[in-house]
Amino acid sequence: MMKYAVWLDGVILDVDTTEFLYNVYKKSTEKDKELLIKIPVNLKVHEDWEYFFNELKKRAEDIIIMSPYDEKTTYEILNKINLRLNYIYNSGKTKPSREPFTKLSSINPLELVVIGSSPLDLLSARFYDSRIKVLCVKRYSDCSKYSPYLYAENLIELLDAMKRIKLL
């Protein structure tokens, strides 16, 4: 049975953090990384998320939210959007990084599907283990050139593709 990790920013929330996080990544000093507490937040949920989530939770053994935000912000966001799932928050180093995935170490990489919307989501998973299946939904940036396992224009198309190839 597959386990699913879904990035909060971009997939669920209508917010593009790619450029901001990449700029923080390029700055290597700890002082500059304090910028992480200023990651853009938007509580607007993408319209296709609710249907996708309802279908996913019918078939998924485990769904984990991956967040670029700190613990407090992640908790508050998930409460405000009424999402009660296990989550992994940013503990100092975020995308692209293997760090969030080290917290999933109990999961066999061959049984993990990561759903993201940014090249940074894909790179983070690849930094950890290239055997992880990374699915990408097109939101703000095109991650198709980074060879995701599946790529779709929206979550409904992604859901259909997942069913077709038996990832659900």
Model confidence over 56-77: pLDDT tens digits? 999 888 999 999 988 999 999 9
Q: Is 93 exposed, middle or buried (0-12, 13-18, 19+ CB in 10 A)?
A: middle
Q: Among 41-50, 91-100, 109-118, which is the least confidently predicted range?
A: 91-100
Residue 28 to residue 137: CA distance in whole angstroms: 29
* Strand ordering across the sheet containing 62-66: 86-88, 62-66, 3-7, 112-116, 133-137, 150-152
User: 124 lies in which domain range?
Assistant: 3-164
Domain CATH number, residue 137:
3.40.50.1000
Peptide bond into 148 cis (omega under 30): no
What pLDDT, on the 0 to 100 scale, is given for residue 144? 82
Model confidence over 120-150: pLDDT tens digits? 888 888 888 989 999 999 998 888 877 889 9
Task: Count the domains in the chain.
Answer: 1
Torsion angle (degrees, nearest 10) of CA 144, 3, 108, 105:
90
